[in-house]
Amino acid sequence: SCSELPVFNHLMRRWCKQAFYRREDACLGSVECLTTSLEIPVNISVHFADDEQSSHNLKAMDAMIFIVLNESESEKMCLQRLKSLVTSPAKSGEFSVAVMNVGGNKFDRVLKIELEELHKQNLIAHWKINSWSRPDSIMESLAFLTEHVNVVPHISASALELLVKQITEEFFDALSSGQHSCKGLSKAVKSPNNIVQLYNTCLTKLENLLLSHKLEKYFNFADEFKMYVPSKESGGPELMCGKQFNDPYKAQISKRLNALKLPELTKWPPKSPNRLVKTLKSYCSQLHDVGVFPQIFRMIDLQDDSNLEQQLEQVPWLDIVEIWAQCSIRHLFPDRERTKRMFVIFDRHDVQQMIKKQWWLKLPVVYHLMN
């Protein structure tokens, strides 16, 4: 009956504490380190939500056992409670539900219909209905949930600086190898401004990936695990613990990536060797690293008696623009500020595909030079 519900809730809390926590001073919601049968240490946190408010105080639930006391609530109340938990922002992406019937199964039919609908809406990934017939029944539900543990595919976290360096290197490597098999690209890389346009587009595409709304759910990391996140860069989404996928976060990403974009060379191509020297030196200064000018100028082998514009087409502009990109990265992410690194979360597969798809072949700067 309804009057017995508080007693049942109290007993369930006691059972959860005894089942999952060894420490006498432990309480529900704290973190306990367990060792799996494969000798793998796992940190867990168990909560007991007996009303809508307590369920919304949770964060990043991977799974739940939904207990139904058949005589304590109406069918409507039961379904509302289930939907409230499943649609809660507290749950993580891949979410599993094990329904535990206590005192009968009169709601099974409507629960099955509701669970199937929630599955169709991608609100739950896996579900099962069990009945409490003996103390081990709840362990069977736990076994089902552990079979469908939430494993995050392809999701990584990294300092933005390191990700940009990786993408920059892979991008220029791809252009360098691709120019030998694509006539349009081979022509395009004869002009530094074409390469600058392609690189800036690459940064825009990276920005779009990092701001993708599909990443938002991976920020939903339970606060109680924050102190257990390794201080070293693990590369996992747990590095985002305590951070939010909000407007300030997204604005910081956009601001930094836009700051990395290279300006185009003005009045290009120059009309004389002297103008070339002034243009390149000014450009290096604009990137806050005039010290790289001698290195770049050595890569430009001018012959006094040849046409300047034709000579400039033979310059290894891919290598030079990559040096400029590295200058921009060093300026925006100086070594002295490594302790202030900004971490971002991303889908490794999407980042890899961004380079593999060779999107630059479809851009006008390359496509129009195919013939």
Domains and CATH numbers, the chain: 3-148 (3.40.50), 155-368 (no CATH)
pLDDT for position 19: 76
Burial class (CB in 10 A: 0-12, 13-18, 19+), 39: exposed
The SS3 assignment for 165 reads helix
Using alpha carbons, select from 144, 342, 329, 317 the residue that is nearest to residue 239.
342
- Calculate the dihedral angle through the C-alpha atoms of 48, 53, 58, 61, rounding to the nearest 10 degrees: 70
Rounded Cα distance, 223 and 29, in Å: 10
Q: What is the mean pLDDT of each run of 10 residues along the chain (371 residues)?
A: 63 80 83 73 78 61 82 82 79 79 84 92 89 76 78 81 96 95 94 97 97 82 71 62 84 96 94 93 95 94 80 94 96 78 91 94 90 71
- Identify the pLDDT of residue 1: 46
Q: How many Cα atoms sit within 13 Å of 19 on the Cβ side?
A: 15
Q: Which of 183, 217, 124 is nearest to 369 (CA)?
A: 183
Token pair of 349, please?
A: 């597969």
Q: DSSP 3-state assignment of 190?
A: coil
Alpha-helical regions (H) of the chain: 5-20, 52-56, 75-86, 108-120, 137-147, 160-178, 183-188, 192-210, 247-260, 273-286, 293-298, 308-312, 317-332, 348-356, 364-367
